[in-house]
Amino acid sequence: MSRSDVVGYACAIGIMSGTSADGADAALVTVERGLAPRRTKLVAWSHRAYAPAFRDRVLAAQEGTLPMRDLLALHVEVGQYAALTALDALGAPEARGLRPEVAGMHGQTVFHDPQGKRSGVALSIQIGEPTAVARALDCSVVSNFRMADVLEGGEGAPLVPRFDFHQFVSDVSDRVLLNLGGIANLTRLKPNAQVEEIVAFDCGSGNMLLDAIMASLDPQGSRYDDQGQEAARGRADEEVVKEFLADPFIARRPPKSAGREEFGAAYLERFLSRTGGLSLADRLRTAVEITAGAVARGVALSGNGKPDEVLVSGGGARNRTLLRAIGAALPGSKVRTTEALGVPVSAKEAMAFAFLAFESVSGRPGNVPSATGARKEVVLGSITPAPYTK
């Protein structure tokens, strides 16, 4: 009997690679067994940054310009990268004696077309070979999380709301869980919310535009604006902000989801063309206000009244200028990070996919139809078994 069985917890590990394509995160967690809500606790976390050449290939895959054979090779390499990141977490001193029952690998999204508008087939494709992870960790792996929801007519995203419900639902506080990854997405949890009452959706670009501006224009070649220091020196072009907030996606009522198809290279090119006369700082500040405005409009779409709290996670949670802008756009709501409730901002999504993997192998649904638009709840993912041993 393992230590996790003694205390009534399952041990799982989640591996997340987001649309920012900056690397892989792994979170080793314990998940409460039994009735809802089942809380998840972080044990150890690790991050492996993508090398520049590797990241370029991932971005090319996301933009649809990577040749097919290179894409197939990248599929295996992303899985190997995920396995190494998970082993890093398992090697942490605080993980001693724990071994996961299951791993949840999100993989790297390379094409998201849940309504089939671009391809003619409803799909959401993530690369990352799960066998590489199962072999390295000697446990079963849940991957391909999104397609079960897509095939039920859903967006396949966001999937984190089921985790948000278990982890953050409150008796008294009206909460918005805001994740600022490459895409900004939110979950609205009214006090004592039930699963069928959850509202969640992607609300616009998160870090994607900000990081792309830095990568394109910063003479030092930085991947991101550390803590929003450069943006803090700039002034926003209000006309550009107004124009970009008129994007039909931002006003569209949920369910809705987005990827680089909406906010990738073409979106960056349009922004750079429109802001050609601005300094780097002014461009970044303009992009900050676009992101903050999209978040505020998303919150307004999520339900009546102002939420008591906005709990922020993801890389954007470390951008102080962006957090201040969101706070200004949402007067009356307390804006703070998920770390205030014991969930590190960088680990939250990896923790979520560890939780979802445990739900899948337990035969429980992982999607939230009110968030994705699916016809019904479904068990998520494809399961790759642990290697056979006699």
Q: Is 216 annotated as a binding residue?
A: no
For the chain, the average pLDDT equals 95
Q: Is the pLDDT of residue 102 over 90?
A: yes
Q: Is the pLDDT of residue 289 over 70?
A: yes
- pLDDT value of position 229: 97
Tens-place pLDDT, residues 242-282: 999 999 999 999 999 998 889 999 999 999 999 999 999 99
- pLDDT value of position 20: 84
Q: Is 21 annotated as a binding residue?
A: yes
Mean pLDDT of 195-219: 93
- pLDDT value of position 6: 40
Q: Is 19 annotated as a binding residue?
A: yes
Structure token digits, residue 101: 């029952």
Distances (CA, A) of 52 to 22, 124, 144, 215, 370: 9, 25, 26, 11, 38
Q: How does residue 390 score in pLDDT terms, banded at 50, 70 and 90? A: confident
Q: How does residue 4 score in pLDDT terms, banded at 50, 70 and 90? A: very low
- pLDDT value of position 35: 86
Mean pLDDT of 104-113: 96
User: What is the separation of C-alpha 122 from the centre of its chain, rounded to a whole number of angstroms?
Assistant: 21
Q: How does residue 223 score in pLDDT terms, banded at 50, 70 and 90? A: confident
Query: CA angle at residue 19 from 219 to 322, to 5 degrees?
Result: 60
Mean pLDDT of 380-386: 98
Q: Is the pLDDT of residue 47 over 50?
A: yes
Q: Is the pLDDT of residue 64 over 70?
A: yes
> Which CATH architecture group holds 3-156+350-384?
2-Layer Sandwich (3.30)
Mean pLDDT of 51-71: 95
Whether the Cβ atoms of residue 214 and residue 303 lie closer than 8 Å to each other:
no
Strand-pair partners of 335: 310
Three-state DSSP at 12 gives strand
Whether the Cβ atoms of residue 225 and residue 284 lie closer than 8 Å to each other:
yes
Instruction: Tell me which H or E stretch contains 71.
Output: helix 68-90
Structure token digits, residue 131: 């066998």
Q: Is 218 annotated as a binding residue?
A: no
Q: What is the pTM of this model?
A: 0.93
Distances (CA, A) of 166 to 32, 106, 189, 301, 390: 10, 19, 11, 22, 38
Instruction: Tell me which H or E stretch contains 369.
Output: helix 369-372
Q: Is 25 annotated as a binding residue?
A: yes
Nearest 5°: phi and psi at 362?
Answer: -90, 0
- The fold of the 161-341 domain, in CATH, is Nucleotidyltransferase; domain 5 (3.30.420)
Q: Is 24 annotated as a binding residue?
A: yes
Q: Is the pLDDT of residue 169 over 60?
A: yes
Q: Is 20 annotated as a binding residue?
A: yes
- pLDDT value of position 143: 98
Tens-place pLDDT, residues 321-359: 999 999 999 999 999 999 999 999 999 999 999 999 999
Whether the Cβ atoms of residue 145 and residue 353 lie closer than 8 Å to each other:
yes
Range(s) for CATH 3.30.420.40 in the chain?
Answer: 3-156+350-384, 161-341
* Range with the poorest average pLDDT among 1-10, 239-248, 295-304, 340-349: 1-10
Q: Is 226 annotated as a binding residue?
A: no
Number of Cβ within 10 Å of residue 94's Cβ equals: 12
Three-state DSSP at 363 gives coil
Q: Is the pLDDT of residue 7 over 70?
A: no
Nearest 5°: phi and psi at 120?
Answer: 85, -5
Mean pLDDT of 6-16: 87
* Range with the poorest average pLDDT among 118-132, 135-149, 216-230: 216-230
Higher-pLDDT residue of 291 and 219 is: 291
Longest dimension (CA), the chain: 68
Per-position b or e across 308-326, b if 16+ CB within 10 A of its CB: ebbbbbbbbbbbebbbbbb
Q: Is the pLDDT of residue 129 over 80?
A: yes
